[in-house]
Amino acid sequence: MGQSLNSRWVAYLPPFLRSRVVGRPNLQKILNNAGWLFFDKIWRLGVGLIVGVWVARYLGPDQFGLWNYTQAFTALFGAFATLGLDSIVVRELVKYPERQNSIMGSAFRLKLVGGILAMLCTLLAISVVRTNDQLVRILVALSAAGFIFQSLNVIDYYFQAKVKSRYTVYATNGAFSLITLAKIVLVLKGAPLVAFAWVGLAEIVLTTFFLCLAFRLTNQDMKTWRYDTSIAKGLLKDSWPLIFSGLAVAIFMKIDQIMLEELLDSHAVGIYSAATRISEVWYFLGTIFVSSASPAIYSSKTISEEKYLANLQRIFDLMLILSIAIILPLSLCAAPLVNLLYGAAYAEASKVLMVHIWATLFVFTGIAQGVFWIAENLQKFALLLTFSAAAINIIMNFVLIPRLGVIGAAIATLISYGVPTILMPYLLKQTRPVFFAFFRALNIFRYTRIWHA
Q: Report the C-alpha gap between 293 and 298 in whole angstroms.
A: 9
Burial class (CB in 10 A: 0-12, 13-18, 19+), 362: buried
Task: Check: CB of residue 66 under 8 Å from CB of residue 56.
Answer: no
CA 63 to chain centre: 25
Burial class (CB in 10 A: 0-12, 13-18, 19+), 402: exposed
Terminal alpha carbon distance of the chain: 15
- 3-40 burial, b at 16+ Cβ within 10 Å, e below that, comes to eeebeeebeeeeeeeeebbbebeebbbbbbbbbbbbeb
pLDDT grade, residue 450 (50/70/90)?
very low
Secondary structure of 66-132 as H, E, C letters: HHHHHHHHHHCCHHHHHCCCHHHHHHHHHHCHHHHHHHHHHHHHHHHHHHHHHHHHHHHHHHHHCCC
pLDDT grade, residue 432 (50/70/90)?
confident
- 370-392 burial, b at 16+ Cβ within 10 Å, e below that, comes to bbbbbbbebbebbbbbbbbbbeb
Q: Which of 367, 230, 299 is nearest to 91 (CA)?
A: 299
Checking if the pLDDT of 446 tops 60, the result is no
Coil/strand/helix, residue 6: coil
- Sorted by where each begins, the domain ranges of the chain are 3-451
DSSP state of 376: T
Q: Report the C-alpha gap between 10 and 18 in whole angstroms.
A: 6
**How many other C-beta atoms lie within 10 A of the C-beta of residue 117?**
15
Coil/strand/helix, residue 190: coil
Dump pLDDT digits (tens) for 166-176.
777 778 888 88
- DSSP H stretches of helix in 348-429: 349-356, 359-375, 379-404, 406-418
Q: Comparing 38-47, 62-71, 192-201, 338-347, which segment has the lowest mean pLDDT?
A: 38-47
Task: Give DSSP secondary structure letters for 204-271.
Answer: HHHHHHHHHHHHHHTT--GGG----HHHHHHHHHHHHHHHHHHHHHHHHHHHHHHHHHHHS-HHHHHH
- Higher per-residue confidence, 263 vs 22: 263
Q: Report the C-alpha gap between 98 and 239 in whole angstroms.
A: 21
Provide the percentage of residues in the chain whose pLDDT is more than 90.
35
pLDDT grade, residue 161 (50/70/90)?
confident
Checking if the pLDDT of 303 tops 90, the result is no
Q: Report the C-alpha gap between 413 and 418 in whole angstroms.
A: 9
Coil/strand/helix, residue 163: coil
Q: Which of 30, 11, 93, 41 is nearest to 314 (CA)?
A: 30
Q: Report the C-alpha gap between 46 and 49 in whole angstroms.
A: 6
- DSSP H stretches of helix in 130-227: 134-144, 146-149, 154-161, 166-189, 193-217
Highest mean pLDDT among 14-18, 124-128, 441-445: 124-128
Provide the pLDDT for residue 453.
44
Q: Report the C-alpha gap between 357 and 287 in whole angstroms.
A: 17
Dump pLDDT digits (tens) for 51-71.
888 999 999 999 999 999 999
Give the residue-averaged pLDDT of 290-318.
79
**How many other C-beta atoms lie within 10 A of the C-beta of residue 291?**
22
DSSP state of 46: I
DSSP state of 421: I
pTM for the full predicted model: 0.75
Dump pLDDT digits (tens) for 32-54.
666 666 666 676 767 777 888 89
Q: Comparing 29-38, 122-131, 159-168, 401-410, which segment has the lowest mean pLDDT?
A: 29-38
Q: Which of 148, 139, 201 is nearest to 175 (CA)?
A: 201
Dump pLDDT digits (tens) for 73-82.
999 898 888 8
Q: Report the C-alpha gap between 315 and 348 in whole angstroms.
A: 35
Q: Report the C-alpha gap between 350 and 346 in whole angstroms.
A: 8
Q: Report the C-alpha gap between 391 and 87 in whole angstroms.
A: 25
